[in-house]
Structure 1
Amino acid sequence: MSHLVVRDLSVVLDRRAVLSGVGLDVRDGDWLAVIGANGAGKSTLLRALAGVLPFGGEVLVDDVPLRRLKPRERARLLACAPQSPALPVDMTVFDYALLGRTPYIPYLGRESRHDREVTASVLERLDLSPLAARPLARLSGGERQRVVLARALAQQAPVLLLDEPTTALDLGHQQQVLELVDRLRLADGLTVVTTLHDLSLAGQYADSMMLLSGGRVAASGSPAEVLTGELIGEHFDARVRVAAGPGGRPEVHLERP
């Protein structure tokens, strides 16, 4: 398990401040859900944490500043499953998941037997073994999401970043993906950070939440502290009713004006 700390993170793109002064603290094995309206900076935050975008401030995993690490070293600490990855249509499920082992393969080298065993084990845990030889073009939406997750898990990094893992999935597949992430988090002690549009889903699964608005942290805390009618109304321009669901977790219901 690993402790993720972000201090005063900022991102400037095309001379515009997209994120300013963002801080977060995710304890070992916890799940943080980042929420916010479109354009709030959620995906930018995950891309900065993953090292895809330049940023100001500090990101630490177990007190190790990621800025000092080479990309391969960073990839051994943080794995990221992007919202809309480029999926080579002719590549097989196994070969795509095997790309997650890249941080461990020497330059100009080939994957080892261990790399292939790790990849096969991940596919088995995600119920993807029967699809290992299938081209990515022949997968359903839910299968593609699991394959993207498989590549991230094959990195064996203690911190997992997931950008909208339920995008374009029906209700059943949304639940399957989030239940799978939760089981893997508990079994492997992963520290998880996800962005999620569905506020009720975020409230059901996350240990803590952070609300971004205009590139800044508008609220953070437990799901019950962040998912309030007042905060949602102010930052999403929506009229909602928040009720306690199973286990006392908040559920958000839209109401007609």
Structure 2
Amino acid sequence: MSDVRAHDLSVVLDTRTVLSDVGLQVRGGDWLAVIGANGAGKSTLLKAVAGVLPYSGEVLIDGTSVRRLKPRERARLLAYAPQSPVLPADMTVFDYALLGRTPYIPYLGRESRRDREVTASVLERLDLAPFAGRALGRLSGGERQRVVLARALVQQAPVLLLDEPTTALDLGHQQQVLELVDRLRLADGLTVVTTLHDLSLAGQYADSMMLISDGRVAASGSPADVLTEKLIDAHFGARVRITSGPDGRPGVHLERP
């Protein structure tokens, strides 16, 4: 299990400061949910940690600076699933998931039997084996989300970064995807960082939470520490009622003004 830390993380895009002096720490095997209003900087934070965007500050995996790693080395430590990935309609499910093995395939080389075995195994675990030969353009929304997750898991990286993994899914598929992530996290010892719009879902699954507002950390801690009526009112402009479930996890309920 690998821990993730970031210090003084800042991102400037087109002269605009999107993130400013953000710090985070996730223990190996834990799940951190990053929440915040639209435009707060959540996706930018994940992209910076993944090395997709340039940043100032430091990102460390088990004490190793991500900035000093070559792209293939970084991809063996961090698997990143973007919110809206490009899915070639004519590519098969198997071939798309196989792209996750790219960090292990030699330049100008071909995938090995091991690469294909790992890919087949992941598809089996995600109940996607029957769709292996199906074109991506013929999948439902929930199936596409699972395929994107499959490609990330095929990388066999100890850190999994998921940007809004439940976007555009109905309630049943949202639960299915998050249960799947949690089950794989516990089975494989993955460290998971997700952005999530649904505060109740974030509170049900995450070990810790971080609230981003205007590119800065507004609050961090346990779900009960972050999901408070005062903080949600201040940073989302929403009136809510917070309840505590049998397991002590907070539930967020909208209330009409």
Q: TM-score normalised to the size of structure 1?
A: 1.00
- Hey, what's the Cα distance between the residues in 2 that align with 1:178 and 1:170? 12
Task: Give 1:63's aligned residue.
Answer: 63
Task: Give 1:127's aligned residue.
Answer: 127
- Hey, what's the Cα distance between the residues in 2 that align with 1:246 and 1:11? 40
Q: Matched residue of 2:7: which SS?
A: strand
Partner amino acid, structure 2, of 1:48: A
- Hey, what's the Cα distance between the residues in 2 that align with 1:35 and 1:185? 20
Give a deviation string over 1:99-130, Cα, whole Å, max 9, x none. 00000101111001000000000000000000
Shift of 1:246: 3.3
Give a deviation string over 1:86-107, Cα, whole Å, max 9, x none. 0000000000000000001011
Shift of 1:196: 0.2
Counterparts of 1:57-206 in structure 2, within 5 Å, are: 57-206=57-206
Task: Give 1:250's aligned residue.
Answer: 250
Q: Matched residue of 1:60: which SS?
A: strand
- Hey, what's the Cα distance between the residues in 1 that align with 2:237 and 2:203? 19
Give a deviation string over 1:203-241, Cα, whole Å, max 9, x none. 000000000000000000000000000000000011000
Q: Matched residue of 1:90: which SS?
A: coil
Is 1:213 equivalent to 2:213 in the alignment? yes
Shift of 1:245: 1.7
Q: Matched residue of 1:54: which SS?
A: coil
Partner amino acid, structure 1, of 2:211: L
Task: Give 1:13's aligned residue.
Answer: 13
Q: Which runs of 5+ in 1 are unaligned?
A: none
- Hey, what's the Cα distance between the residues in 2 that align with 1:109 and 1:46? 30
Partner amino acid, structure 1, of 2:164: E
Q: Matched residue of 1:248: which SS?
A: coil
- Hey, what's the Cα distance between the residues in 2 that align with 1:13 and 1:5? 22
- Hey, what's the Cα distance between the residues in 2 that align with 1:57 and 1:103? 25
Shift of 1:187: 0.1
Partner amino acid, structure 2, of 1:119: T
Give a deviation string over 1:155-175, Cα, whole Å, max 9, x none. 000000000000000000000
- Hey, what's the Cα distance between the residues in 1 that align with 2:236 and 2:119? 40
Partner amino acid, structure 1, of 2:122: V
Q: Which runs of 5+ in 2 are unaligned?
A: none
Task: Give 1:228's aligned residue.
Answer: 228
Off by >6 Å, runs of 4+ in structure 1: none
Q: Matched residue of 2:173: which SS?
A: helix
- Hey, what's the Cα distance between the residues in 1 that align with 2:245 and 2:214? 29
- Hey, what's the Cα distance between the residues in 2 that align with 1:246 and 1:20? 37
- Hey, what's the Cα distance between the residues in 2 that align with 1:246 and 1:92? 43
Shift of 1:61: 0.4
RMSD: 0.4
- Hey, what's the Cα distance between the residues in 2 that align with 1:90 and 1:44? 30
Q: Matched residue of 2:247: which SS?
A: helix
- Hey, what's the Cα distance between the residues in 1 that align with 2:52 and 2:28? 23
- Hey, what's the Cα distance between the residues in 2 that align with 1:68 and 1:162? 23
- Hey, what's the Cα distance between the residues in 2 that align with 1:197 and 1:180? 18
